[in-house]
Amino acid sequence: MRIKLTILISVIIFFLNTGCGFKVVNQSELINFKIENILTSGDNRISYIIKNKLLPYNKSDGTNLITLEIDLSKNKFIKEKNINNETTKIEISINAFVQYRSDENGEFRISKRGAYNVADKYTQTLNNEKKLIRSLSENIAEKIIEELIQRTDDT
């Protein structure tokens, strides 16, 4: 009897949560701009990743033409060391200073941090670093788009 009651309560809670009317916002409907030009300075690998992530917005049908200037910087810090004073974790911070020009000019900063483990083999450590840089760069590109959507939607 007790098992049936808990299953019934679980099913009721499930249906109440799924029928709440929440609707996911499709970001492609919110985009009312077209990126005309992207100028980057700083780390080449990060610039390449961000440009490729922003490239689909060159072909959008937006009314506002936007020119982006992105200044990127990457910093590495030692996050953890073990008892033998060997580095075990390294933290990477990527900062992006974005200036945009359209009908109105504006600027904003985006910063992302992450850490990776230092492996026994140097090549594995490099792979860990590359994966982290790719992930952080893609997150920065997504944040740039979100920020541009908010700033162009207000006008």
Q: What is the pLDDT of residues 8-33, one digit of tens each?
A: 787 777 766 666 565 555 555 667 77
Model confidence at 37, pLDDT cuts 50, 70, 90, reads confident
Tell me the mean pLDDT in the region 124-131.
94
CA distance 139 to 1: 49
CA distance 125 to 107: 35
> Is the model more confident about 124 or about 24?
124
> What pLDDT is stored for residue 90 in this prediction?
93
Return the percentage of the chain with pLDDT > 90, whole number: 44
CB-based contact 107:18 (threshold 8 Å) = no
Q: How many C-alpha atoms does 40 have within 13 Å on its Cβ side?
A: 19
Residue 54 in this model has a pLDDT that exceeds 60: yes
Integer CA distances (angstroms), 13 to 3, 6, 8, 20, 59, in order = 15, 11, 9, 11, 44
Beta carbons within 10 angstroms of residue 40's beta carbon = 19
Tell me the mean pLDDT in the region 96-103.
88
Model confidence at 111, pLDDT cuts 50, 70, 90, reads very high
Residue 89 in this model has a pLDDT that exceeds 90: yes
Tell me the mean pLDDT in the region 135-151.
90
Query: Quick one: which H or E segment has residue 64?
Result: strand 64-81
> Is the model more confident about 33 or about 111?
111
